[in-house]
Amino acid sequence: MTSALSINKYIYDILINDERLSAMTNKQIYPIVAEETVNYPFVIFTKNDVRGEYTKDIHAYDVAELQVAVAATNYFQTVEIAERIRQLLEGRRDDYFRSITLEGVTEEYMDDAFVQSLTFQCKIMGK
């Protein structure tokens, strides 16, 4: 059975296999953390929470919160990359994802880079 615990594998496959996103980020897409030597722009994604949803004491599906952060030295580049990520994830339905919804976006400037952070709620099919 594949649960929401495996979400990072599926997210990585979606992001790294998109030619447009790969070109925008030079394939610098990482789960949890990027190496200190990585150049801008890059993408980091993290699952923040996983919980089961139950119906009459039976596991119906998992819900995972996913955080995707885009970092670059150019503000508009972070927005462009974030837009592409949103296009790839929001509303997605397939054999693994029951649905993905965008829950919020924040932006900040830190460590000499602009950062766009997108938060998604992902419902995962139980297999």
pLDDT in tens, 25-72: 999 999 999 988 899 999 999 999 998 888 887 888 889 999 999 999
The residues, any chain, with a CB within 8 Å of residue 37's CB and separated by 6 or more, are none
- Show the domain range for 96: 4-125
pLDDT at 1: 57
Q: How far apart are CA 65 and CA 24, in angstroms?
A: 25
pLDDT band at 127 (very low <50, low <70, confident <90, very high): low
For the cut 80, the answer to whether the pLDDT of residue 99 exceeds it is yes
| pLDDT at 35 (0 to 100) | 87
In whole numbers, what is the pLDDT of the chain averaged over residues?
Answer: 93
Torsion region of 46: left, alpha or beta (phi above 0 gives left; psi -120 to 50 gives alpha) = beta
CATH of the domain at 36: 3.30.2000.10
The DSSP bridge pattern shows strands 58-72 and 113-125 to be antiparallel
Residue 126: the pLDDT is: 66
Rounded percentage of the chain residues whose pLDDT exceeds 70: 98
Using DSSP's 3-state secondary structure scheme, residue 114 falls into strand
The answer to whether 116 and 105 are in contact (CB under 8 A) is yes
Does residue 20 register a pLDDT over 70?
A: yes
Residue 110 near residue 44 (C-beta atoms within 8 A): no
By the 8 A CB rule, do 60 and 98 touch?
no
**Number of domains within the chain:** 1
